[in-house]
Amino acid sequence: MFKYIGSKRVFIPILGKLASQSEATTAVDLFTGTTRVAQEFKRLGLHTTACDIATYAHVLAQTYVATDETQINPNELNEALNHLNQLPGKSGYFTETFCEKSRFFQPHNGVRIDAIRNEIENQYLGTPLYPLLLTSLMEAADRVDSTIGVQMAYLKKWAPRSYNDLEMRTPKLLPGAGEAKLGDAMHLIDELAPTGILYLDPPYNQHRYFTNYHIWETLVRWDEPEVYGVACKRVDAKEAETKSVFNYKRTMQEAFFDLLSRARADLLIISYNNESWISAAQMKDQLLGIGKEKVVALGFEHARYVGAKTGIHSPSGEKVGKVSHTKNTEWVFVAGDKAQVEQTVFGFEAAQLAEFSS
């Protein structure tokens, strides 16, 4: 699974425990990103729907959440992967843009990415293997990139891993049904069926996923966009439709509270970070205000994202600043009926709990 800011990797056991104790049978992960949380819900047997506005995240959701492992022929998948792994490289848009105009990948891998991506489009579009192969390609490319985990900049000197040869591997699928939806949470919220758990992990600051992961967006869409700047970002990054209300201080709070008020779910589980534009008190008041009988906040100390630890970098990858701290507190809010909330948070240490009732 690839490098992703705000990924809830370390919270999986906690979110999994909450989901199983809640005894919910359905879940929606509305801002699914890497799909890690949705995968855990699915693994636990909940019928899970994974949503995101990013096309690459939708492909991950199609692979890890919507695909039923038992419906995929493993021989066919492995044959396709072997075939793609053996294709000779052929320079094209990807190599020119991300290996020559910029230096995100070494050309020996860029030419293979070009060749493999074209073959996926020509041979597998419309088949059940299509999202799986795209996922495998993104993950393979991520293992040989030359960044610190975001695509706003590349390293001045090639990262050691970028010398390795790109290798497509089999994605670890899960058995069972699930759904993937591509779209803006502000619209999807009204279209989704009522659910047992609604898990929310929106962006809480100005860092845009569309620009931080523009290469995955381009690799998946395969639309050869015009690019700008040192990082060769897509020109449509400047357009309103690629901007999220959650990335602007002016709009974030109102949008999120509006979203909460329209949610149709027995239980809301919200990942929340103390560096965000919403205070914990405001979050609690809002949840009680929309009629949730009980709200519990679980607090966890957490290392900050990788960029924060390695320092602040200029667009050309030079280190230009230090970071004041490398720890912050992540909160998980659980809101719903009193009895279900109590059952859901049962066994968490008292020190981690802040409880509020209406």
Ligand X SMILES: C[S@@+](CC[C@H](N)C(=O)[O-])C[C@H]1O[C@@H](n2cnc3c(N)ncnc32)[C@H](O)[C@@H]1O
**Residues at the interface with ligand X (CB under 6 A):** 4, 6-8, 31-34, 36-37, 52-54, 57, 184-186, 201-203, 209, 244, 246
Q: How far is the CB of 33 from ligand X (least distance, A)?
A: 3
| Residue 96: CB minimum distance to ligand X, A | 26
Q: Distance between CA atoms of 293 and 295, rounded to whole angstroms?
A: 7
Cβ distance to ligand X smaller for residue 30 or 81: 30
Q: Which is nearer to ligand X, 8 or 112 (CB)?
A: 8
C-alpha dist (Å) from residue 232 to 81, 132, 211, 237, 320: 29, 26, 10, 11, 21
Shortest reach from residue 95's CB to ligand X, in Å: 26
Q: Closer to ligand X at the Cβ: 37 or 335?
A: 37
Closest distance to ligand X from the beta carbon of 236 (Å): 15
Helix (H) or strand (E) segment spanning residue 320: strand 319-321
Nearer to ligand X, 42 or 112 (CB): 42
Contact partners, residue 80, CB within 8 Å, separation at least 6: 123, 124, 129, 133
Comparing CB distances to ligand X, the nearer of 76 and 223 is 223
Taking residue 206's Cβ as centre, other Cβ atoms within 10 Å add up to 11
Residue number with CB closer to ligand X (129 or 334) = 334
Taking the complex as a whole, how short is the minimal distance between the CB of residue 186 and ligand X, in angstroms?
Answer: 6
Distances (CA, A) of 172 to 52, 257, 302: 20, 36, 27
For 14-35, letters b (16+ CB in 10 Å) and e give bbbbbbebbebebbbbbbbbbb
Selection from 175, 167, 252 nearest residue 207 by Cα: 252
Give least dist CB 161 to ligand X, A.
Answer: 21
